Amino acid sequence: MENYRDKVVVITGSAGGIGFALAQQFGADGAKVVLSDIDGERLHGAVEALREQGVQAGGFVCDVTRREDVEALAQHAIDGFGAVDVLVNNAGRGQAPAPLIDMDLDEFRRVLDVNLYGLLHGVQVFGRYFLQRGEPAAIYNLGSENSIYPCVPSYHAYVASKHAVLAITELLAEETPDFLEVALIMPGLVYSEMTRDVFRGMDTDAFARKVIEQLRAGEFYVVSHAYNRERLDERYRAIGAAYDKYAPRYAGDEEFDIRTLLARMS
């Protein structure tokens, strides 16, 4: 979207950190913002802070792992502002790094419940509303630098969830009509609740400004941390080298390419 003036933007996990910084940037662009978070006290403070900045804002306590909460969030936003134009699936959960062999799989599931299934609840609930409404809208999903390479050693659940967000968002963009914009936001190390006790990351507001600039330009891959290009290139060089050695290109090699075969069937 070229600008967000008078658009209604719903952001999950937005009582602080990246979510709140994005809310400020959308608000500065003239949007009406609905914050949601599992922490009601912090959420109230965040809404009041936005209002003090002159942003039309509301809040709703929401656990994204509960589909009924996400449905209630959508209805609350529609009732309060008349419509919703943008969903930012920002809510996320980290983990303590642990060797996969010994990792508590209940913790693995808890991470996926928020980072993957919570996001899917948002996509389905708001996506159906956007399609039925039939007006320009957007779904922005929070991936990570962990979407393109394993950033933190033994961070299995989180990395798996963010790789999944990459795939889901790419596929979602293919199957939605042009009026429904889809984008993948891939932060690197940003100063937030998830990282502040370990590293000092990129300033949260500076990151949010980078994001809004790219969203307004209609970019799909929304990036921020320059050195991630090294990690991305390293991964694809290694994959390419394996193909060059064991599965080199040949004339007619599209014979087993699924996309080519599907195109021929259509």
Which sequence positions are flagged as catalytic? 158
Output the six-digit token pair for 170: 């790419």
Of the candidates 123, 232, 220, which has an alpha carbon nearest to the alpha carbon of residue 188? 232
The secondary structure of 133-195 as a DSSP string is HTSSEEEEEE--GGGTS--STT-HHHHHHHHHHHHHHHHHHHHS-TTEEEEEE---SB-STTT
User: Does an H or E element contain 50, and which?
Assistant: helix 40-52
Angle between helices 17-28 and 204-216 (to 10 degrees): 50
Residue where the block lists tokens 């596929």: 171
Q: How far apart are CA 25 and CA 12, in angstroms?
A: 15
Query: Mind giving me the DSSP string for 192-254?
Result: STTTTTT---B-HHHHHHHHHHHHHTT-SEE---TTHHHHHHHHHHHHHHHHHHHS---TTGG
Classified as helix, coil or strand, 81 is: helix
Instruction: Identify the burial level of 224 via C-beta atoms within 10 angstroms of its C-beta, where 0-12 means exposed, 13-18 middle and 19 or more buried.
Output: buried
DSSP state of 65: T
Q: Alpha-carbon torsion 152, 156, 161, 164, what sign?
A: positive
DSSP class of residue 257 equals -
